[in-house]
Amino acid sequence: MSRMPSPQGLQRPDLSVEENGYLKMLGDRIRELRARRGMTRKILAQQSGVSERYLAQLETGHGNISIILLRQIARGLGFPLVDIVREEPEHSAELTLLIHHLARLPDAKLASVRQMLESELDAAEAVRRRRRVALIGLRGAGKTTLGTGLADALGVPYIELTKQIEHEVGAELSEVFSLYGQAAYRRYERRALEAVVAQNERFVLVPGGSIVSEPATFDLLLSSCFTIWLRASPEEHMTRVMAQGDYRPMKGNEEAMEDLKRILAGRTAMYSKADAVVDTSGKSVEQSLAEIRALIGA
């Protein structure tokens, strides 16, 4: 087994080049997923019970050797590592075969396959989706302003998913996170979305910007609603939030803009799965609202 420590000291000399490469890839993925969640390393440390120091080591490719050993066990069994660490029950044979078949398809083909499946499963749902509009995007994209304006214009309920979560839990959002943690919030988010869809035929819905980081919940949103990504530049996001009187994004954090850009980059792939995109940068509320109404045929 060849050993080649990096001259920059970024690799572990006790591991092979291939093993070091895997740890670096894992660190990059953890950092990307953290950005997609919109979490700082400090928040992740608090939520996971893992020290910031270990997280920093993990994200820079210095993960614990046990990760490599678990990977070797998976290889010995002939299973992907994800199958070894998966917490949910085993998939059925049909679903397992379908997953492996889809995994072989190029990304360009997957979107058309998903659309074909949705069309085949329930063509009538496409009509119902048009009556349920969901506006997604980062904070400062204009979701609340445009959402309330659109709901008024259409004469349908305006629903903020975070308010539904607070109602179900009986606590404010900040308390939900502090008392129950990120994982519990995601469960409440899924339940709230299911309830909103089940109880309303028509609405304008504004979910939290991080809903895209929970694939199952985001898939439910996409399959139940006509989803529009309200896109804006990072600079405009920051300007709008501060114009609302909230200076927390800048307080004590000189890298706030870089964090915002990283979060946006981490979520762009998922946001792009929306049915339509409206870029609100440099536009008035009236201009953006007219564009949205044209998209939904209102």
Mean pLDDT of 233-262: 67
Question: 161 or 258: whose pLDDT is higher?
Answer: 161
- Taking 70 as the threshold, does the pLDDT of residue 26 lie above it? yes
Beta bridge partners of residue 133, listed in sequence order: 204, 226
What's the DSSP call for residue 43?
Answer: H
Using DSSP, state whether 159 is helix, strand or coil. strand
Question: 18 or 84: whose pLDDT is higher?
Answer: 18
Report the distance separating Cα 67 and Cα 85, nearest Å: 11
Report the distance separating Cα 232 and Cα 174, nearest Å: 26
Mean pLDDT of 254-261: 74
Q: Reading across the β-sheet that carries 203-206, which strands appear in turn?
A: 158-160, 203-206, 132-136, 226-231, 276-279
The class level of CATH for 109-296 reads alpha beta
Using DSSP, state whether 108 is helix, strand or coil. helix
* pLDDT score for 239: 77
Domain boundaries, the chain: 17-85, 109-296
Report the distance separating Cα 163 and Cα 113, nearest Å: 34
Report the distance separating Cα 23 and Cα 135, nearest Å: 37
Q: Model pTM?
A: 0.63
CATH number of 17-85: 1.10.260.40
Residue whose entry in the numeric block shows the structure tokens 């214009």: 153
pLDDT, tens only, 288-297: 999 999 998 7
Mean pLDDT of 104-118: 85
Report the distance separating Cα 218 and Cα 273, nearest Å: 10
